[in-house]
Amino acid sequence: MSLSPVINRMLSVEMKEKQQRTLTLDELGVDMELFTEFLMHISPNALHEPILPGPKNVLLLLKLADYFQLDWLKSRCEKHLINCMEIPLIDRFLLTKQYGLTIMKNYFLHLNVDKLRAFFKANHVQLLPNVSDEFCGHFCFRLCG
């Protein structure tokens, strides 16, 4: 069986993937080369000796880890993103809601107050429509507290 609950479901019930013995990736916008890289990250060898995400593949791996419900790979990607200077901070922040990145959310909430204030001031136009009321409350508490 697969490491992915999604693939397990596809192959265990009478879905076209089981009948055709194929997996279609069209909706993910991933070509075969990128999917092969993803498979290297989830192979049994990678579980024993982890292949870590890098700045060039972390977003793809995060997208596929989320789609295939591979929480352990999603967590690796999230931990890499915290210190990934190649991706702008606002872009990394916007991933918290899209992928439910709790570690990343906590990283932002525990930033130095001056840095958090500067981040909010510089990015408030992008932040406001993408922040839950709860998260906004935490932000305000940190900035005003």
User: Full-prediction pTM beyond 0.75?
Assistant: yes
Range with the poorest average pLDDT among 25-34, 54-63, 94-103? 25-34
Residue whose entry in the numeric block shows the structure tokens 């070509």: 31
Does one domain contain both 4 and 54? yes
% of the chain residues with pLDDT over 90: 32
Among residues 62, 85, 108, which one ends one of the domains? 85
Give the pLDDT confidence score for residue 15 in this predicted structure: 61
| Enclosing domain of residue 31 | 1-85
Q: Which of 45, 44, 43, 39 is nearest to 60 (CA)?
A: 39
10-24, 31-45, 109-123 — which one is most confidently predicted on average? 109-123
Does one domain contain both 77 and 142? no
Q: In the predicted model, is pLDDT for residue 88 greater than 70? A: yes
Q: What is the DSSP string of 113-145?
A: HHHHHHHHHHHHHHHGGGS-HHHHHHHHHHHH-
Q: In the predicted model, is pLDDT for residue 95 greater than 90? A: yes
Among residues 85, 102, 129, which one ends one of the domains? 85
Does one domain contain both 77 and 92? no
Give the separation between CA 121 and CA 145, rounded to whole angstroms.
17
Among residues 65, 85, 105, which one ends one of the domains? 85
Give the separation between CA 65 and CA 7, rounded to whole angstroms.
12
Q: What would the two tokens of residue 127 be?
A: 């932040």
Give the pLDDT confidence score for residue 24 in this predicted structure: 66
> φ, ψ for residue 69 (rounded to 5)?
55, 50
Does one domain contain both 8 and 78? yes
Does one domain contain both 75 and 138? no
CA angle (53, 33, 10) in 5-degree steps? 85
- Which has more pLDDT, 95 or 5? 95
Give the separation between CA 109 and CA 29, rounded to whole angstroms.
32
